[in-house]
């Protein structure tokens, strides 16, 4: 699946889109997606892939758009002890770290 997301991201970049890539780098407990799962996001709002089965995609997409603007990668930490995780819907008891970076 990762190859498909990378291929999609590369195709979008070739079309002139700004693209950011989010990758699950660590999981603990009952996380919705395994490490290595990816989400590609464009500045125009296109998305492919998943880092959480939907529960934190919106928050990750917001950070991806910020990374496209300022070029700074970020490591996001979501988990049951994190109040932000409850806000974005990750109340399943798991934890995950997602690395977000601008492509190109």
- CB-CB contact of 45 with 17 (8 Å): no
Cα atoms found within 13 Å of the Cα of residue 80, Cβ hemisphere only: 10
What pTM was computed for the model?
A: 0.84
Residue 51 to residue 55: CA distance in whole angstroms: 9
Q: Calculate mean pLDDT across residues 70-95.
A: 72
Query: Interior CA angle at 45 toward 6 and 81, to 5°?
Result: 80
pLDDT score for 95: 82
pLDDT tens string 47-62: 999 998 777 889 999 9
Residues 6+ apart with CB under 8 A from 69: none
Lowest mean pLDDT segment, chosen from 6-20, 42-56, 61-75, 85-99: 85-99
Q: How high is the pLDDT of residue 56?
A: 84
Task: Tell me what the mean pLDDT of segment 70-90 comes to.
Answer: 73
């Amino acid at each position: 699946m990762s190859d498909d997301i990378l291929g999609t991201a590369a195709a979008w970049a070739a079309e002139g889109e700004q693209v950011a890539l989010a990758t699950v780098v660590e999981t603990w407990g009952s996380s919705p997606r395994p490490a290595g799962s990816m989400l590609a996001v464009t500045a125009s709002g296109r998305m492919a892939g998943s880092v959480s089965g939907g529960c934190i995609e919106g928050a990750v997409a917001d950070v991806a758009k910020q990374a496209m603007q300022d070029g700074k990668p970020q490591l996001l930490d979501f988990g049951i002890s994190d109040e932000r995780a409850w806000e974005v819907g990750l109340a399943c008891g798991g934890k995950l770290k997602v690395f977000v970076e601008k492509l190109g």
